[in-house]
Amino acid sequence: MADQENRIVATDLCYAYPEAAANAVDGVRMRVKRGEFLAILGHNGSGKSTLAKLLNALYVPTRGSVLVCGLDTRDDELVFDIRQHAGMVFQNPDNQIVATVVEEDVAFGLENNGVPPAQIRERIDEALRAVNMTDFAKKAPHMLSGGQKQRVAIAGIIAMRPDVLILDESTAMLDPSGRREVMQTVHRLNEEEGISVVLITHYMSEAATADYVLVMDEGKIALTGTPREVFSQVERVRALGLDVPPMTDLAHTLRAQGVPIAPDVLTVDEMVEEICRLSLKT
Amino acid sequence: MLKDITLGQYFPGDSPVHRMDPRMKLILTIAYIVGVFLVSDLLGYALALAFLYLVVRVAGLPFGYLVRGVKPLRFILVFTFLLNLFFFPGTTPILSLGFFTLTREALQKAVFFALRLVFLVMGTSVLTLTTSPMQLTDGLERLMRPLTRFHFPAHELAMMMTIALRFIPLLLEETDKIQKAQMARGADFESGNLLMRAKAMVPLLVPLFVSAFRRANDLAMAMEARCYRGGEHRTRLRELKYTRLDALAAAATACFLLVIFAEGRFLG
């Protein structure tokens, strides 16, 4: 089997939708290690959502393979094991909550896997605590805000104790405060519990906080590297139909005006530091 | 506006009736209804009412809730009452008006039949008022489980009920939204005759159906991602357990049935 540190290994991964001429995902090679935070970017139709669904056996590759914790997604027998290792949170918070009570919904995955009732109770409490939703355990999902609903959905996945958490544009339908709630939760789970995260997103600011960024274009990997490496190639990123984080954009503009600022600034804090450094020099 | 509709009519509480096992409640409700149908005189109905009142008091429900539950049935009640009154063949006339003769038997039949309906509704109301929809589906699933041997889809039915309950508020909200959006574009849902109004519903229903299908697709994907594979090997967060409370309730209902039976046999 693959070595312990690799959570997801994809080799020459291809997937074509039935009756589609071109591959939606075409020859992707990627690896996610234990505790790693990977962001996948790409414009609409670039194949990033398809890629996500290949990572937990919702789709089976037409060519190449995906190993999740050493388990091959092409093996029918392993499907449920794989989905337990790689949990997925979807885009629409309303369409992924099954039960009419929050704690019942968190229990759903555990019930499906035949976990004994006493343990289910324990794990629900643990999962709701991890996403800071303990007070809402008995509430009806339709009474919650979008961010709260997504946290419930995350709790439902966390309760299954996955090794990888895949977020398929899970913040796309949320308001800014809901987005912040969800991102904070995801980062905490990543740092404290060591859960690997694969974050598919439209938001550059979210991608900037990842360990690695992977940019998809027409099913292929167009760019890859740390957020700093990727976003410093401003022209290239723009050509792929994406924005760069606002501070990187500002640095780029300033450089074009002849200000000798570093091209790889990502956050406001870094920008402040960079400007201070410059003003000291002059 | 549509969002305010309460689903089912669950009346939250912590009474012994609320705490009973939903399976036992279902069984006893059916037993009670059978009992009511065995009744054949007014004393029997008085006993049935007394028993129902006792249960309602124990459950801490306002009796008015039960009466309110009968209200939507008033047309059916009047209709069956009149039907029985006019057409039931009787032999002892008590009133004669031209071609119509009111007989004692018809009057009795009409009154009793209406009473039966009322008790039927009130009896089941006690069940739905004291049992949350979630518990009710759980109870139904368990009760129907033996039927799975004959390929009866007990788990699937319960799952469908749960999902329906989950999505009704969502779809109501969405209907409201679509309705407002169409009204903003000049759609008219309120005027015109019945046919025109029915036609006006089309721009409301088409988007609603499209969205419902999309939701169904998303939900299926999400359920699969969370290892859903049907009812087999599935455990439940809350296991249903019969307690002494259920035995007590069963005994009380058995007593009621016995009394009803004896009363019909020896006094009726």
What ipTM was estimated for this complex? 0.87
Tell me the CB-side half-sphere exposure of residue A255, using CA atoms within 13 A: 16
Quick one: average pLDDT of B134-140? Answer: 87
Give the pLDDT confidence score for residue A280 in this predicted structure: 87
Domains of chain A, residue spans: 35-57+79-227
Residue B4 pLDDT class (50, 70, 90 cuts): very low
Give the pLDDT confidence score for residue B74 in this predicted structure: 87
Give the pLDDT confidence score for residue A20 in this predicted structure: 85
Phi/psi of residue A258, nearest 5 degrees: 95, 5
| Residue in chain B nearest A104 by alpha carbon | B237
Residue B6 pLDDT class (50, 70, 90 cuts): very low
Q: CA of A180, closest CA in chain B: separation in Å?
A: 23
Using a CB–CB cutoff of 8 Å, tell me whether B5 touches chain A. Answer: no
Q: How far apart are CA A155 and CA A126, in angstroms?
A: 9
Q: Cα A27 vs. chain centroid, distance in angstroms?
A: 20
| Residue in chain B nearest A53 by alpha carbon | B225
Q: Is the pLDDT of residue A110 over 80?
A: yes
| Residue in chain B nearest A58 by alpha carbon | B225
Q: Cβ–Cβ of B226/A108 closer than 8 Å?
A: yes
Q: CA of A69, closest CA in chain B: separation in Å?
A: 16
Q: How many other CB atoms sit within 10 Å of the CB of residue B67?
A: 13
Quick one: average pLDDT of B185-190? Answer: 83
The pair of structure tokens assigned to B13 is 């509480």
Higher per-residue confidence, B133 vs A272: A272
Give the pLDDT confidence score for residue A222 in this predicted structure: 93
Q: CA of B228, closest CA in chain A: separation in Å?
A: 5
Q: Is the pLDDT of residue B2 over 60?
A: no
Asked if A109 and B234 touch (Cβ cutoff 8 Å), the reply is no
Of A96, A101, A111, which has the smallest distance from its Cβ to B235's Cβ?
A: A111
Q: Cβ–Cβ of B134/A83 closer than 8 Å?
A: no
| Residue in chain B nearest A143 by alpha carbon | B169
Using a CB–CB cutoff of 8 Å, tell me whether B108 touches chain A. Answer: no
pTM: 0.82
Q: Which residues of B touch A160 (CB under 8 A)?
A: 226-227
How high is the mean pLDDT of chain B?
87
Which residues make Cβ contacts (< 8 Å) with residue A200, sequence separation at least 6?
A39, A40, A48, A49, A51, A52, A166, A167, A168, A169
Give the pLDDT confidence score for residue B216 in this predicted structure: 94
Give the pLDDT confidence score for residue A198 in this predicted structure: 96
Give the pLDDT confidence score for residue B128 in this predicted structure: 86
Bridge partners, residue A214, by sequence = A40, A224
Bridge partners, residue A72, by sequence = A67
Q: Is the pLDDT of residue B98 over 80?
A: no
Higher per-residue confidence, B168 vs A188: A188
Residue A170 pLDDT class (50, 70, 90 cuts): very high
Using a CB–CB cutoff of 8 Å, tell me whether A157 touches chain B. Answer: yes
| Residue in chain A nearest B215 by alpha carbon | A95
What CATH class is the domain A35-57+79-227? alpha beta
Which segment of A32-36, A126-130, A267-271, B222-226 scores lowest on mean pLDDT? A267-271
Rounded alpha-carbon distances, angstroms, from residue A6 to A31, A67, A84, A170, B241: 7, 9, 16, 24, 44
Q: CA of A251, closest CA in chain B: separation in Å?
A: 41
Quick one: average pLDDT of B207-227? Answer: 93
The H or E element containing residue A210 is none
Which segment of A81-85, A255-259, B131-135, B209-213 scores lowest on mean pLDDT? B131-135
Quick one: average pLDDT of B114-139? Answer: 88
Looking at residue A103, what DSSP letter applies? H
Three-class SS state of A132? coil
Place of tokens 């070595």: A3
Which segment of B15-24, B233-242, B259-268 scores lowest on mean pLDDT? B259-268
**Contact residues, A window 63-102, toward B, CB-based 8 Å cutoff:** 80, 83-84, 87-88, 90, 92, 94-101
Q: Cβ–Cβ of B219/A108 closer than 8 Å?
A: no
Which segment of A1-5, A171-175, B177-181, B250-254 scores lowest on mean pLDDT? A1-5
